[in-house]
Amino acid sequence: MYRYRRLKDLREDSDKTQREIGALLGTTQQQYAKYEAGIQEMPAHHLLTLADFYGVSLDYLVGRVDTDIERLMQALLRMEPGKRTRFLAAAEEGEN
Specify whether 59 is located in the same domain as 79.
no
Cβ-contact 42, 2 below 8 angstroms:
yes
> pTM for the full model?
0.70
Specify whether 13 is located in the same domain as 23.
yes
Q: Return d(Cα 60, Cα 82) in angstroms, integer.
A: 29
Distance of CA 91 to the CA centre of its chain: 24
User: What's the number of domains the chain is made of?
Assistant: 2
Domain of 43, CATH number, reads 1.10.260.40
Full residue range of the structural domain in which residue 55 is found? 1-65
Specify whether 55 is located in the same domain as 32.
yes
Q: What is the pLDDT of residue 95?
A: 67
State mean pLDDT over 3-17.
91
Q: Is 66 left (phi over 0), alpha (psi -120 to 50) or beta?
A: alpha
Q: What is the DSSP letter of 62?
A: T
* Per-residue model confidence as pLDDT tens digits over 38-93: 999 999 999 999 999 998 888 888 888 777 676 787 788 888 999 989 988 998 88
Specify whether 41 is located in the same domain as 58.
yes
Q: Return d(Cα 46, Cα 40) in angstroms, integer.
A: 13
